[in-house]
Amino acid sequence: MNKHKQPPKFKTEAEERTFWEQNDSTEYLDWSKAEKVTMPNLKPSTKTISLRLPESLLESIKIEANRRDMPYQSLIKVWLADDVKQSRHAS
């Protein structure tokens, strides 16, 4: 027996978005039957920021990035992502 409700039919994407913002999807979807998918061509949106660093720190980062044969901005992103991930697992 299916214990999940049927979601309503939506006229617009905005209507659907509002519905899912106000309702728990577990009442409507059986997440135990969900399948993992990969979207290799999907690129996350990025935002440009300005970050002021001491010149000596930036030079050290560039040296480390060069040692790893990668752009220094990519290395900074890797380090930031790793730190955020570790912080989330620690809490």
pLDDT tens, 28-63? 988 888 999 988 888 888 899 999 999 999 999 999
The pLDDT of residue 39 is: 86
- 62 and 87 part of one domain: yes
- What is the residue range of 82's domain? 49-91
Residue 10, in any domain of the structure: yes
pTM (2 d.p.) = 0.53
**Which two three-digit tokens encode residue 4?**
């999940």
Cα 50 to Cα 52: distance, rounded to the nearest angstrom: 7
Is the pLDDT confidence value at 1 over 90? no
Confidence bin at 89 (pLDDT 50/70/90) = confident
Task: Give the pLDDT score at 2.
Answer: 59
The residue ranking higher by pLDDT, 32 or 69, is 69
CB 28 within 8 A of CB 16: no
3 belongs to a structural domain: yes
Let me know whether 29 and 56 are in one domain: no
Task: Mark out the alpha helices in the chain (DSSP H runs).
Answer: 13-22, 55-67, 72-90
Whole-Å CA distances, 76 to 17, 61, 66: 35, 8, 12
Number of domains, the chain: 2
